[in-house]
Structure 1
Amino acid sequence: MSALSDRRSELVERILSLQDEDGCWNQLGPGDRYYPELKHYAPNYKSTLWTLILLADIECDPALPELRRPLQAITDHFFDRESGVYSIGKSHFPIPCLNGNMLYLHGYFDFESDYDDRVIDFFAQYQRFDDGDFKTPSAFPYFRNKSCYGAHTCYWGVTKLLKGLSFIAKRRRKKNVKQLIQRCIDFILLHEVCYSSSDPARLLAKGMDQLTFPNMYHSDFLEVLWLLRREGRHDPSMNMALDLLKSKRQSDGTWRIERRIPDLVTTVRSDFLSACITKRAEEVLHDA
């Protein structure tokens, strides 16, 4: 095996050794402020949801039997049968990044859920792509949720929705999936991957130009480029971000992590994270 594969195997084994009796990575218990509503979500970034995202982002074996139970647990826990989406409560309802991450996990791990069609139907109908001119209503489905649906639609919600939709096999994509993917991509290209639509010389968000891994709430510019490449996109609006990526290549042809995600379920070596970033960068630039 390659050095990357060896280090991945060691990390996966260590993460699996930390599973609790339910096969999860719960950090909360009775008496905690956020229990039970957020027991698979809080704290960032070491609970069950985030640990599964870490495992998917490092490209662990998607068929690992040890991951069936935690996938089922978070699917059942977060799904709101009344609204038809994954939810952490009214404060951030509807929350596109959580729903995108759930679709991503189901797609990566080939975990079938009858809920996902309802999720896609909801966001195909209600997801917004506003660029500074939306007034958040108090009624369904936005309920004054300015974090996700303020004047400018939360960019991370769009990128995570795209990530989840991108992991739906092409043969299984219905018309509304294809349309929602295109709307996400159009919004991203409007911002040239990571720049302000009104001032292209300015980053869309602080730190978005820093190579980061894994990608949890926020996408760095590399993850966005990687998703666009997964969807076969080659567009002039990607050029500034591609030039930024090329400028960060080291003399030995690799890329190095620039921003670490704190408080993962276990310590992850920087050289392994840099190797994961390098793999993504090479995939993005393969035919650039």
Structure 2
Amino acid sequence: MSALSDRRSELVERILSLQDEDGCWNQLSPGDRYYPELKHYAPNYKSTLWTLILLADIECDPALPELRRPLQAITDHFFDRESGVYSIGKSHFPIPCLNGNMLYLHGYFGLESDYDDRVIAFFAQYQRFDDGDFKTPSAFPYFRNKSCYGAHTCYWGVTKLLKGLSFLAERRRKKNVKQLIQRCIDFILLHEVCYSSSDPARLLAGGADQLTFPNMYHSDFLEILWLLRREGRSDSSMNRALDLLKSKRQSDGTWRIERRIPDLITTVRSDFLSACITKRAEEVLHDA
């Protein structure tokens, strides 16, 4: 096996050794201020949701039987049967990043949930792509949620939604799915991957230009490029971000992690994270 595979196997084994009796990680208990809504969501980034994202991002074996129970647990916990989406309560309803991450986990680990068709239909109908001119209503479905649907739609919600949709099997990509994917991509290209649409000389958000792994709430510019490549997209609006990626290549042909995610379920070596970044960068630039 390669050095990357060896290090991945050791990390996965260590993470699995930390599972509780339910197969989860750091579950909140009754009496905690965030229980029950954020059970499996808090604490960042060492609860069950984030740990499964870490495992998927490092490309663990998706068929590991130890991961079925925790994935089913968060699916059942977060799904709001009344609204038909994954939810952590009305304060961030409807939260596209959580729903995108859940679609991603289901796609990566091969769990086809009946819930996902409702999620996709909801966001195909209601997801917004505003660029600074939206007034958030108090009624369904946004309920004054300015975090995700303020004057400018939360960019990270769009990128995470695209990530989830990108892992849908082709046979599940009906017309509304393809249209939603295209709207996500159009919004990203409007921002040249990681730049402000109103001031192209400025980054869209602090840290968007820093190589980060794994990608939790926020995407870095590399993850966005990687998703666009997964969807077979090549556009001149990607060129600045591609040039930025090339500029960060080290003399030995690799890339280095620039911003670490704190408080993961276990310590992850920087050289392993850099190797994961390098793999993604090589995939992005393969046909560039």
Structure 1 distance, partners of 2:56, 2:200, is 32
Find the residue that maps to 1:19 and give its secondary structure.
Answer: coil
1:26 shift after superposition = 2.5
User: What per-residue deviation string (whole Å, max 9, x for no partner) do you get for residues 175-205 of structure 1?
Assistant: 1110000000000000000000011110000
1:172 shift after superposition = 2.1
Structure 2 distance, partners of 1:281, 1:171, is 28
Find the residue that maps to 2:278 and give its secondary structure.
Answer: helix
User: What per-residue deviation string (whole Å, max 9, x for no partner) do you get for residues 98-147 of structure 1?
Assistant: 00000000000001100000000000000000000000000000000000
Structure 1 distance, partners of 2:53, 2:105, is 7
1:254 shift after superposition = 0.1
Moved over 3 A (4+): none
Structure 2 distance, partners of 1:269, 1:31, is 35
Structure 1 distance, partners of 2:250, 2:109, is 33
1:28 shift after superposition = 1.8
1:29 shift after superposition = 1.4
Native 8 Å contact 2:134 2:150 kept in 1: yes
Query: What's the counterpart of residue 262 of structure 2?
Result: 262
Find the residue that maps to 2:114 and give its secondary structure.
Answer: coil
1:27 shift after superposition = 3.8
If the length of structure 1 is used for normalisation, what is the TM-score?
Answer: 0.99
Find the residue that maps to 1:102 and give its secondary structure.
Answer: helix
Native 8 Å contact 2:26 2:43 kept in 1: no
Over aligned residues, Cα RMSD in angstroms? Answer: 0.5
Structure 2 distance, partners of 1:166, 1:208, is 20
User: What per-residue deviation string (whole Å, max 9, x for no partner) do you get for residues 232-264 of structure 1?
Assistant: 000000000000000000000000000000000
If the length of structure 2 is used for normalisation, what is the TM-score?
Answer: 0.99
Structure 2 distance, partners of 1:255, 1:134, is 39
1:35 shift after superposition = 1.4
Query: What's the counterpart of residue 132 of structure 1?
Result: 132
1:170 shift after superposition = 1.5
Query: What's the counterpart of residue 205 of structure 2?
Result: 205
Find the residue that maps to 1:196 and give its secondary structure.
Answer: coil
Structure 1 distance, partners of 2:100, 2:151, is 21
1:31 shift after superposition = 1.6
1:5 shift after superposition = 0.1
1:157 shift after superposition = 0.3
Native 8 Å contact 2:48 2:70 kept in 1: yes
Which structure 2 residue ranges, 5 or more long, are not aligned? none
Question: How many residues were matched structurally?
Answer: 288
1:171 shift after superposition = 2.4
